[in-house]
Amino acid sequence: MADSKDTSKTSQPDLEDSTNVVEKHEKVLELSASQARENQISETGMEPVSLWVFLASAIVLLIGGGVLGAGGKLFSYSPHPEGYTRPEFASDADTGPTIGPILEALSKRGKNIYAKCSGCHGSTGNGDGNQYPPLAGSEWVTGSTGRLAQIILNGLSGPIDVAGKTYNGNMPAQAPLTSAELAAVMTYIRNEFNDVGDVVSVEQAANAIKDYESRPQGAITVPELNADHDTMLEGEVVDPSTNVNFETLQPAAAE
């Protein structure tokens, strides 16, 4: 056909007649090989670490570990220096005498019980001179043990005259107390603050608790104290110098 085109020439590379294709291919291959031999430039911080660095670090660590280990029990931890000897501490049995006068035994125990009373009556038993009456020099402490025991167990409501001054506050009840605790705190305040020189025995305190349990609950008043409890507590009277076991409060000779 007249208008058909000859496509055989357009499918061939557009090369000059003088171009040597084989020679060009050889040059391209040589250039690629030379570029492959060159060191590639990595991004900053991404360069690989040399194997020699690892080897040198390992050698340093091995040598350092050997030196430190030979320096003396570095890896055998102990909170105490070498040759340390643990001191022997006194046991509970060594904190004081185990046998002594009952006055001392009860007073020692009573001091601990009185600690919760010292916030109002003071550590010396002198009160605050305003709202809380003193125990030192108080006839309510040195007088009949029956009244004192009921004040401690029941608490007190209404006015009370102490050492020539009227106090009109309310004292909270300290019950429940065991007979030993009541005997101890009564003995303590009668002798520590007033030097009465006697003891309230555990048996006497037990009788006071029976009286407390037989009356209606509630704070006691001065009129009731004077009418029903103005007497010394019944029960065994113990000589203050009697030696007892501080734990059991029993006579030492009986154990």
Listed in sequence order, the DSSP H helices in 115-239 are: 118-121, 139-142, 145-154, 179-192, 202-214, 222-228
**Type of residue numbered 44:** T
Asked if residue 223 is part of any domain, the answer here is: yes
Residue 76 φ/ψ region, left for φ over 0, alpha for ψ in the -120 to 50 degree band, beta for the rest: beta
Cβ atoms 156, 170 nearer than 8 A: yes
Position 86 scores a pLDDT of: 57
Position 2 scores a pLDDT of: 47
Cβ atoms 200, 232 nearer than 8 A: no
Alpha-carbon distance of 219 to 224, in angstroms, equals: 10
This prediction has a pTM of 0.63
Cβ atoms 103, 237 nearer than 8 A: no
Gyration radius from the chain CA atoms: 50
Asked if residue 74 is part of any domain, the answer here is: no
Asked if residue 129 is part of any domain, the answer here is: yes
Asked if residue 122 is part of any domain, the answer here is: yes
Asked if residue 89 is part of any domain, the answer here is: no
Asked if residue 90 is part of any domain, the answer here is: no
Helix axes 145-154, 179-192, angle to 10 degrees: 120
Please list the rounded mean pLDDT of every run of 10 residues in the chain (255 residues): 50 56 68 60 64 84 77 57 56 67 97 95 94 96 98 97 94 96 98 97 98 95 98 97 95 72
- Domain ranges, residue 111: 99-239
Asked if residue 204 is part of any domain, the answer here is: yes
The CATH code of the domain that includes 186 is 1.10.760.10
Alpha-carbon distance of 104 to 109, in angstroms, equals: 9
Position 120 scores a pLDDT of: 94
Query: What is the number of residues in the chain?
Result: 255
Question: How many folded domains does the chain comprise?
Answer: 1
Asked if residue 25 is part of any domain, the answer here is: no
